[in-house]
Structure 1
Amino acid sequence: MSLSVSPELLAQAQEGEVRDEEFIRCIQESLPYAWSVVEQTAEKLRANDVSYVVNEDVPPDEQAWGQLFRLVSSNAMREAVERKFGARLAFQNCCKVALFEPSAEAEFAEFTSVRAQILNQKPELLNC
């Protein structure tokens, strides 16, 4: 299961729309490592006044890897994170998580390109 959903949040979803704040709280509580990666990357983006930031920290264990993969593989979670931080979220195999200012279209296109994916391949990442 990707998220630990409270009975209250489940009831809210059954009744209609779920507010982003509630969904974000669920992500934070369910995937604390993944959330910390995204939050720290967003802080660097804002603090350094740059168009994008790439976080290449290697997750410390399998549980952390799983959290990161679950967050970036879910469209709903990724889009909620993007709305929260006002930035585009991108992921490149294994542990490259990046946030881009909306105006950083060229940088986003390069990061998510086939070329960048190929250049990011390393033998030690084969089974991550």
Structure 2
Amino acid sequence: MDETKNQGFAYRLGYRLGRLQGACRRIETTLVGWFKKKGIPPMATRSVRWIVKLAVAGLLLYLAFWIALFVLGALAIANAAAIAPDQEIPTGDSDGWRHGHSGFGDYIDDYRVDPGRFDND
């Protein structure tokens, strides 16, 4: 009894989705019976069922696309906010292109290593 009391989110979500699917099946069965009673051919009934199913699937995919786009946009904004403009960019202390004793150039351990000309003018 303790197991059913402490079910997690996934269990509850799956249970609700299963109930929703059962309700949709019951509605579909009722509509198929109504179509039969009205004399609509079985081929037309199957076509309508598939059209409705495909429309629902398309709407769900459309919704999933916009949710994913929103989440990616929120992540991009959060990433941009994480790179604060008040953070200093390290310059001068690291190797690479910078201003040094011999002017601007490529430096490794305070020695200029690029083939450029030195500013001795």
Assess same fold via TM > 0.5.
Answer: no
Higher relative contact order (CA 8 A, sep 6+): 1
TM range (shorter): under 0.3
